[in-house]
């Protein structure tokens, strides 16, 4: 009877340690929305996210991503593979987007294990 109690307590303690010790990593995602001057989404705009570092530590090209916006003017960039748990902060990236004679620039602070959203508004390319 006492041995049964000890076994049960050991099993419960093991489950508590294993259950609370596993910290599943969440996705680290940058979500960019591109709109025109009237606030309408811009479909098919080229977007580039990149690190423009004065003093690069490591290889900044690992953060480089590019895509085209969908019909809602949105593009999603997943950085989950580049984030390591225990890392303090992730990255502040430059945004460059253009389509035809429109362009926009901005920045996005990508937060570890979160979906970070930024909206940029396109203007005519200055002549």
- Provide the mean pLDDT of the chain: 83
Residue labelled with tokens 């010790």: 21
Measured in degrees and rounded to the nearest 5, phi and psi for residue 43 equal -85, 140
Domain ranges for the chain: 25-124
Condensed to tens digits (0 to 9), the pLDDT of residues 61-111 reads 788 999 999 999 999 999 988 866 655 567 899 999 999 999 999 999 998
CA gap 116, 110 in Å, rounded: 6
**Does the structure show a pLDDT above 60 at 116?**
yes
Question: What's the rounded mean pLDDT across residues 17-42?
Answer: 81
Q: 20 pLDDT band (50/70/90 cuts)? A: very low
Three-class SS string for 49-65? EECCCCCCCCCHHHHCE
Pick from 101, 107, 108: nearest CA to 122: 101
Report residue 120 as tokens.
């940029």
Fold entry, domain 25-124: Immunoglobulin-like (2.60.40)
DSSP one-letter code for 95: E
CA gap 39, 65 in Å, rounded: 25
Give residues with Cβ within 8 angstroms of 87, minimum separation 6: 112
Report the percent of the chain where pLDDT is more than 90: 52
CA gap 103, 96 in Å, rounded: 8
**Does the structure show a pLDDT above 60 at 32?**
yes
């Amino acid at each position: 009877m006492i041995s049964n109690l000890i076994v049960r307590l050991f099993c419960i303690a093991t489950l508590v340690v294993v259950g609370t010790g596993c910290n599943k990593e969440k996705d680290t995602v940058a979500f960019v929305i591109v709109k025109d001057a009237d606030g309408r989404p811009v479909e098919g705009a080229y977007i580039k996210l990149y690190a423009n570092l004065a003093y690069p530590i490591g290889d900044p090209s690992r953060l480089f991503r590019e895509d085209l916006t969908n019909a809602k003017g949105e593009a999603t960039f997943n950085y989950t593979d580049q984030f390591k748990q225990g890392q303090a902060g992730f990255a502040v990236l430059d945004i460059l987007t253009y389509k035809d004679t429109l362009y926009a620039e901005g920045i996005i602070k990508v937060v570890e294990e979160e979906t970070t959203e930024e909206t940029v508004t396109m203007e005519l390319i200055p002549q």
